[in-house]
Amino acid sequence: MTTSFENPSSFEGLCDKDRDVWCLDNKQLFTTDWVEEEGDSYPVSPQLELEEAMMLSELKKDSELLVNASPCIAEHPKVPCPAEDTSIRQGAAGCWRKLYCVNGHAFQAKRFSRRAHCAVCTDRVGGLGRQVYKCTRCKLSVHKKCHRLVTVHCGQRSLPSEPMVPVDLSTMTSGPAQTAIPHNLSGQEALEQVDGENEAGNTGKSGKIARGLGLQDFDLLSVIGRGSYGKVLLVQLKQSDRMYAMKTVKKELVNTDRVRTEKHVLQQASDCPFLVGLHSCFQTESRLFFVLDYVDGGDLMFHLQQQRTLAEEHARFYSAEISLAFNYLHQRGILYRNLKLDNLLLDSEGHIKLCDYCICKEGLEPGDTTSTFCGTPNYLAPEIIRGEEYGFGVDWWTLGVVMYEMMVGKSPFHLAESCGNRYKNSIDYLLQAILERDIFIPRCLSIKAVSVLKRFLNRDPAERLGCRPHRGFFDVQKHPFFRSVNWEMMERKQVVPPFKPNMSGGFGLDNFDSQFTDEPVRLTPDDDDIVRKTDECEFAGFEYINPLSMYEEE
């Protein structure tokens, strides 16, 4: 939790402020540390140390002074307090969410756009890369820069213009002192509100977590995939013999924001039958590990390469399940942005599961937009290429591309006819083709199939199928191509899939490309220089175990 108040003139004044914020009685002992920009903490106890911290802060022209507080006394100035929890460090992938407390408000940072205005300066809040602070109690929304200027208590409607003089007090507590942070919540509720997710515990450099999992708890059986981030392994949990897919991510290659988003989406995906869910997370000195549902039927790219094209009935089944997955994500404000044949997995019965949430965007509501340029070139929607703001419509465009590939056997922007021209073989030409080239649709397709492809591949997102706010999925369901689909049965996975993967091989490995499964099952040795340069605080709080998975394994 953080709060703001006027510069204390004395150490005793700072202590009084601390006691007021956490509702501590006069007998409660606590330690206050000043945290400098590199993350190192220094005790603030006598008046001289407080004045030194304030002086250095002013010399550096810092707008705020960051302070940690723990509800106990350290044995030695260089030793952390027994109750201190390092997971509050900023930048941690999946770390606790801070509450910024000002005059009864409990502001929480939100990283998404809102069609609202700041209650202090009246400018619009949100936008790409801009944080919005929203009170978890009264739902007041303000800019990050304005939250310290809120002088009216939580629940009042008008906001005076007189700003407060901010001194940022970032605190981290556990035990009895934490129960007093949100004044109207119990200790457990407060912990859940600050945490925002069910963490399994904290980690040291070994990657083993309290009551949790580590690499030593799994048998590594085979490589089943690879990307720029690392490998995907088929593993077996020793204590239960259950099979999982383990995604390894090298810390030196990782974007912590993307890791945080991927983990959060994976946690929500566990409740959807058409999305790959999360079993657990843990880490070592050099890597992050996601333990995921193992989907043993292989990906749709592998099967399409063997069959060349799919019948319309098959494409209808798969695209209906993909649409249900999209609807689940969109209802929760998640933009997927990564649909392609490689990310469409088949389970042992033949049902679809989407995977790989590393470029998802969270926090979007119907009508909200974002503008990050990301995705696979062949599947980029025209509005992304044009550099325009875009919303959920880009997912429906990618579904159109995938449906075309399933029924026609190649990309709608296939460049084979461009061989011999270096420019036309470039990414630039591909993007230009997506923007301008007419899409060829074979005559062998039915009228309904032609219609749905044209609707999904409409370059105008306002006219594209699925793009009407609040009614997009309804429009998809009512399109003639999907008229024969029983959506309720489809959602309950009661419709028999048109194709069942071959499961005769051990663990379903025959459904994965041999270029992966023939690789030796090992992790590359750690580079000691890179490990030494890794800031472990960036990944504190990453560990997680899905409670449902624990229940199923008992």
- In angstroms, the CA 392 to CA 336 distance is 8
Helix (H) or strand (E) holding 134: strand 132-135
- CA 536, chain centre distance (Å): 19
Rounded-to-integer distance, Cα 426 and Cα 441, Å: 23
266 by DSSP, 3-state: which? helix
Q: How far apart are CA 294 and CA 301, in angstroms?
A: 17
| 91 carries a ligand binding annotation | no
User: Has 229 been labeled as part of a binding site?
Assistant: yes
The answer to whether the annotation marks 472 as part of a ligand binding site is no
The residue with tokens 């036309």 is: 424
Q: Is 125 in a helix, a strand, or coil?
A: coil
C-alpha 456/C-alpha 479 separation (Å) is 11
Q: Are strands 99-102 and 2-4 parallel, antiparallel or unpaired?
A: parallel
Quote the tokens at residue 539: 């990944």
Q: Which amino acid is residue 511, in one-letter code?
A: N
The C-alpha atoms of residue 34 and residue 41 are separated, in whole angstroms, by: 5
Amino acid in position 519: E
Task: Calculate helix-pair angle for 393-408, 300-307, nearest 10 degrees.
Answer: 30
3-state secondary structure 428-487: HHHHHHHHHCCCCCCCCCCHHHHHHHHHHCCCCCCCCCCCCCCCHHHHHHHCHHHCCCCH
Beta strands in 337-402 (DSSP E): 344-346, 352-354
Q: Compute the C-alpha angle 165/171/172, nearest 5°.
A: 170
Sign of the alpha-carbon torsion through 370, 374, 375, 380: positive
The reply, when asked if residue 411 is annotated as ligand binding, is no
Is residue 390 part of an annotated ligand binding site?
Answer: no
Name the β-bridge partners of 134: 108, 141
The three-class DSSP label of residue 526 is coil
231 is in an annotated binding site: yes
250 annotated ligand-binding residue: no
What is the spatial distance between Cα 265 and Cα 259, in angstroms, rounded to a whole number?
A: 10
Closest CA to 354 of 395, 322, 402, 324: 322
For the purposes of burial, counting CB atoms within 10 Å of the CB of 25, is it exposed (0-12), middle (13-18) or buried (19 or more)?
A: exposed
Q: Annotation-wise, does 127 bind a ligand?
A: no
Q: How far apart are CA 499 and CA 234, in angstroms?
A: 23
Q: Is 434 annotated as a binding residue?
A: no
Query: CA 182 to CA 155: how far, in whole Å?
Result: 15
Contacts of 470 (CB under 8 A, 6+ apart): 366
Distance CA 475, CA 368 (A): 19
- Please state at what angle helix 312-331 crosses helix 393-408, rounded to 10 degrees: 160
**Annotated binding residues:** 224-232, 247, 251
Binding-site annotation, residues for ATP: 224-232, 247, 251
